[in-house]
Chain A
Amino acid sequence: GESVGLHLPTLSVQEGDNSIINCAYSNSASDYFIWYKQESGKGPQFIIDIRSNMDKRQGQRVTVLLNKTVKHLSLQIAATQPGDSAVYFCAEMGYSTLTFGKGTMLLVSP
């Protein structure tokens, strides 16, 4: 069942550190995954995506790793900055709709 009203998992890091945010997905048939960043009071913003025929994809300061065996995604942010503070969601794409995970709050202190 779903949990309601629980506090989000939180990752606190110092500016300049590398951050790793993890996500477990549910549908082994999913073939497309996306990481979103959501700042307070705003809508989700696309960060990076990966298809199931890959196990790693790199962007600017971000890397996504996909382990299909254990249905696990991770988002690595290099040299984390205060502006990276936000809630991060992984999402898996069905035919045309997104299923979001519960999110992780990243707090970056100067």
Chain B
Amino acid sequence: NAGVMQNPRHLVRRRGQEARLRCSPMKGHSHVYWYRQLPEEGLKFMVYLQKENIIDESGMPKERFSAEFPKEGPSILRIQQVVRGDSAAYFCASSTDHVGEQYFGPGTRLTVT
């Protein structure tokens, strides 16, 4: 039973490029959450999605960041025109419902040069 999968595990982008981070939830999970972690800090909530719907995006920056969770395929976190401050580890979690235990993926470490 595979856990939450994220790819790529490491991503290097130059300033101004786009970053696409993918998350495949655990089998049977239809709720996906994205969190960002800066070095030596806790995870910060970004966005919560259920299949084809954004439920809560209160933690998402208003510009350059977007997320989707299509009916088929993984959830995508997209960062346009990346800046150095976007360098962080981005974690995805999934759950069976909005109060269920969240299982975390291994993260994508984004480095902006």
Contacts and interface: CB of A to CB of B under 8 A. Distances in A.
Interface of A: 4-8, 36, 41-46, 49, 89, 91, 93, 95-103
Given A46-B101, A96-B55, A8 B40 contact: yes
B40 A7 contact: yes
Pick from A42, A44, A99, A103 the residue with the most CB of B within 10 Å: A44
Given A43-B104, A44-B104, A96-B48, A101 B42 contact: yes
A49 B38 CA distance: 24
Among all A-B residue pairs, the 4 with the closest Cβ atoms: A100-B42, A43-B104, A96-B98, A97-B45
B104 A95 contact: no
**Could you tell me the dominant secondary structure of chain A's interface residues?**
loop
A43 to B, nearest CB: 3
Interface string B90-113: 010100001101111111000000
A80 B44 CA distance: 28
7 contacts: A5-B38, A41-B107, A45-B104, A49-B101, A97-B33, A98-B43, A100-B35
A103 B33 CA distance: 20
